[in-house]
Amino acid sequence: MKKIKVEPETLMDILEGVETTERYDGYYYSVKDALVIAILGSICGLQNTRKIHQWASSEKVSEFLKEKFGIERIPCYYWLLSLLNLVDSDSLNRCLMNWAESLLPENREGLTISLDGKTIRSTQKMAQNETALHIVSAQVSELGITLASKSVDEKSNEIPAVQDLIGELNIEGCLVTADALNCQRETAKAIVNKNGDYLLDAKANQPELMKDISEYFEVKSLWKDVTTKRVREKNRDRIETRTAYATTDIEWMSQKDKWEKLSCIGAIKSEVERNGEKSEEWHYYLSSRELTASELLHHARMEWAVESMHWLLDVHYAEDSCRLQALSLQKNLNMLRKFALSVIKQYKTNTSSKKALSQIMFDCLLDCNNLLLITQN
């Protein structure tokens, strides 16, 4: 697996293709400088642009940025906002997507690309917005790298946005996972047409499909070529047991031919025990790849990775509390934060660091030189 190297000059190279929505000569302040400041501030775990600006404007940090990243002048706070808002979101997404693509191995068999959407809730409360900003992300879950993002006006438009995003990605050889909302025949077809495989979560929005799969696994006498795998995890007072079932016995399914290249169905039973109380939940899946129960457990778990990333955006960056009015600025900051998380994740992987994400961020905040360790590893 390739190691990430985001050296100072390389970071500028990554952003080379960034365009602006208006003509800007960059005579006094550079748009790329503003992006680098936002990225490094996000690696330090700073929650918003005001805190990032205060950090970058301090004497010690501004000297560091000048010496190591060639940033001669730190713009005032409102200039920083204006510069970040000038960035064309599509061009920034392309630059970060090209960077992420360059890090992936040639043989992508076994990799999981997880698709999921997140609503930035603060945008719901802004009078000038008819709908909240909803952003769909594609993440290579095993590597913790965000591949690309696509924004939509509201969650109801996520389905076509996911299909459009699939069309923009190189998913050949990968298994693409998505939640129940995106368990759609057209989504499955879009994935297969790009030489990928799908693993989709069947729930109430596909009632007939869910009924067929659930009834099959409930009656053991119907089983044929079923593999099983059970794992048990304990975390303090919480014990979870997950049991997976998978089979390629699908000839009996009435909907078999309605789903592109359908090859496998599966189920995962999750049993949770906490403080003497027990709960049970079932999830049902369909896939174009012939999966074992062990593989089903792995890829289904990887689907949660993108949801975990969205949780980090809320917890570490307080994204849902961001009150910036410009939606384009919110989009750009969302992508820069995910890029920062990708870099930190790879640093942890490459160095086998056991430090918590929050500790790595805090170390960078205390000592700027740690930023070089993170970005150059």
What DSSP element (H or E) covers 177?
strand 175-178
Give the confidence band of 107 by pLDDT, cuts at 50, 70, 90.
confident
User: For 173-200, what is each residue's pLDDT tens digit?
Assistant: 999 999 888 999 999 999 999 999 999 9
Q: Is beta strand 227-235 parallel, antiparallel or unpaired with respect to 197-202?
A: unpaired
Closest Cα partner for 177 from 95, 128, 116, 257?
A: 116
Q: What is the pLDDT of residue 296?
A: 96
Q: Which residue has the higher pLDDT, 1 or 240?
A: 240
Q: Which residues pair with 137 in a beta bridge?
A: 116, 149
Cβ–Cβ under 8 Å, residues 174 and 161: no
Domain boundaries, the chain: 8-94+326-376, 104-313
Q: What is the pLDDT of residue 130?
A: 65
Spell out where 207-314 has E strands.
227-235, 238-247, 264-274, 277-287
- Find the range with the poorest average confidence among 102-106, 334-338, 340-344: 102-106
In the block, tokens 């996972």 appear at 177
CA pair distance 246, 226, nearest whole angstrom: 5
CA pair distance 193, 198, nearest whole angstrom: 11
Helix (H, G, I), strand (E, B) or coil at 41: helix
User: For 29-51, what is each residue's pLDDT tens digit?
Assistant: 899 999 999 999 999 999 899 99
Cβ–Cβ under 8 Å, residues 106 and 44: no
Q: Which CATH class is domain 104-313?
A: alpha beta
> Chain centroid to CA 330: how far?
16
User: For 311-328, what is each residue's pLDDT tens digit?
Assistant: 999 888 988 888 777 888
**What mean pLDDT do residues 338-348 have?**
92
CA pair distance 343, 360, nearest whole angstrom: 11
Average pLDDT of the chain to the nearest whole number? 89
CA distances from 97 to 140, 162, 275, 363 (A): 12, 16, 44, 28
**What mean pLDDT do residues 362-366 have?**
94
> Chain centroid to CA 334: how far?
11
Q: Assess whether pLDDT exceeds 50 at residue 229.
A: yes
Per cent of the chain over pLDDT 90 is 61
Spell out where 256-362 has E strands.
264-274, 277-287
Q: Assess whether pLDDT exceeds 80 at residue 1.
A: no
User: For 113-149, what is each residue's pLDDT tens digit?
Assistant: 999 988 888 776 665 666 778 899 999 999 999 999 9
Residue partners of 301: CB distance under 8 A and separation at least 6: none
Q: Assess whether pLDDT exceeds 60 at residue 275.
A: yes
CA pair distance 168, 351, nearest whole angstrom: 32
Q: What is the pLDDT of residue 322?
A: 80
Closest Cα partner for 306 from 124, 162, 209?
A: 162
How many Cβ atoms are within 10 Å of 300's Cβ, its own excluded?
20
Q: How many CA atoms lie within 13 A of 227 on its CB side?
A: 14
pTM score of the predicted model: 0.89
User: For 287-311, what is each residue's pLDDT tens digit?
Assistant: 999 999 999 999 999 988 888 899 9
CA pair distance 219, 340, nearest whole angstrom: 47
Q: Assess whether pLDDT exceeds 90 at residue 79.
A: yes
CA pair distance 172, 27, nearest whole angstrom: 43
Encoded tokens for 341: 């998380």
The DSSP call for residue 141 is T
Q: Assess whether pLDDT exceeds 50 at residue 371.
A: yes
Instruction: Note every long-range contact of 46-53, with CB atoms under 8 Å and residues 24 or more positions apart, other chains counting.
Output: 46/365, 47/316, 47/317, 47/318, 48/317, 48/318, 48/322, 49/77, 49/80, 49/81, 49/84, 49/324, 49/333, 50/77, 52/80, 53/77, 53/80
